[in-house]
Amino acid sequence: MSITRIARIARIARIARPGRLALGHARRTLSSSAKLAQIQRPVDGLVIGAYESPKVSEPGYSPSLLAGSSLPDSARENICKILASARFKGESKECRTLYNLEGLPPIVSVVGLGKADADDNQRAESARVAAATGAASIRSHFKNSLAHIEFDALGSPLASGEAAALSTYAFDKYKQPKSRDPVLSVDFHDSVNADAEHEFAWRVGFIQGSAQNMARKFADTPANLLTPAIFSQQAKNLLEYLPHTQVHVHGMEWAARNKMGAFLSVGRGSDEPVKFVEVVYSGGKADEQPLALVGKGVTFDSGGISIKPSTDMALMKGDMTGAAVVISAMWAIATLQLPINVVASIPMTENMPSGKATKPGDLVTAMNGKTIEVDNTDAEGRLILADAIYYTATAHKPHSLLSLSTLTGAIDVALGSVFGGAFVNNDDLWKVIEDSGKRSGDRFWRMPLDDAYKPQIRSHVADLKNVGGRSGGSCTAAIFLKEFVPQENEKPLVQFAHLDIASLMHKRDSSGYLSAGMTGRPTRTVIEIAKAFAK
């Protein structure tokens, strides 16, 4: 596809176009088991979709096949006849696998798209599920081999591209080759009649899905293979050659000079030195305030002296999911060359018990001068975020600041894994987050960020304590972070949102379009937020 054609499509889609450097970098760094096709190769399988029909039992029934112009008329008519005889209803997750149809790839997976009159967000979610269902049906035919699959727009080309990446992810880097999943290459089903706008949107979606896969890969990686030093270097390698992007990795001395006592207190018990990654993407105008992202980067959380129970402690390798999401979203933002300025701050550390570790009852001083009684060393995420939030807000002066962290188990009790929790100090910012979550299918529920919770974090020996008891645990954590958002005349100087994603971190089954393991959620929502501000 020529650069001229991409530019034309970009104007139609109103999204910044990927340049040659960005697309090349995307192909080299995709962390999914699926790769965006770089060369022409035979197509092994094709995923197409059909809308639901309530008239399946009536004489003369014929399903409404969505593929449209991406299939020859004769092929489309042939498939419709087969589906009619098979009483294909077109319901979500319904699938028929067809073989050796004339003029088509050897395997064609026809998947149900649900109701044709669904709204855009519902249609997008149906497309994601459909793409995953179709990919699974084709993938099952290839054991330990290479396969090339193409996808139709499925009613929402961007969502189809997202799921093409998401549904083919496998974290098998450390397995023997014979135990690995098939290697897949994927692409949009192009033809001489393909819709150019659909093709571009599909490729944007693939980049967004691949960004989430990067976050999944980071979070799935064992903690001994992703220490703060390794994590920060990988982040630098991933981002520093992208357009308009600068990456700075700071160490303990830098944090000490900036008086980040809360952040430094968490890393005392570990032999691994702390790191602070700072990313600046300048895709907008020079005088425009940036959007700021802050991600919790605890590469392993034992709980420190307040040690966690051993059950499921291994999952705490994923306690850096906030950082993984921020880094991966920044990769997508820069790869897509969105016309916006974005800064990111990622404090990285381990939380370990030792003779050097912070003890319950110790007092630390944060960058903004507030003293904190560390009542529980397992509430460490809010300590590193406190300094990161204040530093980012004062150094970069963003218009909006989002912190993302696997912060509290209480949010899982409150919301489960369907919604993430959003604590927001501004109605306009909440609207952006809410709408972005609906577009991505990775939604948030607004929780109270109310000063009525503040008495629970008062301390007898310091300005604050880092826990507020069992009652309203996620709310007291959010109100603690709010103390580090700079204010003037008791009004915040920045629109602030704390996104508690602890309940989104891990998935135990492989239902939907995400396999079991770390989810990388809500990377695509963060990208959608950046796109919303870019407009």
Q: What is the pLDDT of residue 9?
A: 33
CB 485 within 8 A of CB 401: yes
| pLDDT grade for 379, boundaries at 50, 70 and 90 | very high
**Measured CA distances, 317 to 171, 176, 300 (Å):** 14, 22, 5
Q: How many CB atoms lie within 10 A of CB 81?
A: 12
483 backbone dihedrals φ, ψ, rounded to 5°:
-65, -15
- Alpha-carbon span 342 to 333, nearest angstrom: 9
Q: pLDDT at residue 59 above 90?
A: no
Packing angle between helix 196-220 and helix 228-239, nearest 10 degrees?
160
Say which amino acid occupies 419: F
Whether 308 is a known active-site residue: answer yes
Q: pLDDT at residue 242 above 90?
A: yes
State the DSSP string of 472-520.
THHHHHHHHHHTTS-EETTEESSEEEEEE-GGGSEESS--TTS-SEE--
| pLDDT tens-digit readout, 134-153 | 999 998 888 767 789 999 99
Q: What CATH architecture does domain 221-534 belong to?
A: 3-Layer(aba) Sandwich (3.40)
Residue range 170-181: mean pLDDT, rounded: 85
Q: pLDDT at residue 39 above 60?
A: no
| Domain boundaries, given as residue ranges, for the chain | 3-213, 221-534
| pLDDT tens-digit readout, 389-431 | 999 999 999 999 999 999 999 999 999 999 999 999 999 999 9
Q: pLDDT at residue 52 above 90?
A: no
Whether 76 is a known active-site residue: answer no
- Alpha-carbon span 68 to 91, nearest angstrom: 19
| pLDDT grade for 80, boundaries at 50, 70 and 90 | confident
- Alpha-carbon span 251 to 272, nearest angstrom: 11
| pLDDT tens-digit readout, 222-234 | 999 999 999 999 9
| pLDDT grade for 189, boundaries at 50, 70 and 90 | confident
Q: What is the pLDDT of residue 64?
A: 58
Q: What is the pLDDT of residue 526?
A: 98
Give CA angle at 488 (484, 494), nearest 5°: 60
**Measured CA distances, 535 to 15, 20, 272, 432, 521 (Å):** 9, 23, 41, 12, 23
Q: Strands (DSSP E) along 204-290, which ranges?
A: 245-250, 275-282
Q: What is the pLDDT of residue 134?
A: 94
| pLDDT tens-digit readout, 290-332 | 999 999 999 999 999 999 999 999 999 999 999 999 999 999 9
- Alpha-carbon span 251 to 229, nearest angstrom: 9
Q: Which of 216, 382, 439, 531 is catalytic?
A: 382
Does pTM surpass 0.75? yes
- Domains 3-213 and 221-534 alike in fold: no
Mean pLDDT computed over every residue of the chain = 89
| pLDDT grade for 494, boundaries at 50, 70 and 90 | very high
| pLDDT grade for 103, boundaries at 50, 70 and 90 | confident
| pLDDT tens-digit readout, 13-35 | 333 334 444 445 555 555 444 56
* Residue 177 structure tokens: 């080759």
Q: What is the pLDDT of residue 57?
A: 55
Q: pLDDT at residue 56 above 60?
A: no
- Alpha-carbon span 65 to 112, nearest angstrom: 10
Q: Which of 308, 370, 397, 454 is catalytic?
A: 308
Q: What is the pLDDT of residue 16?
A: 36
Indicate the length of the chain as a whole number: 535
Q: What CATH architecture does domain 3-213 belong to?
A: 3-Layer(aba) Sandwich (3.40)
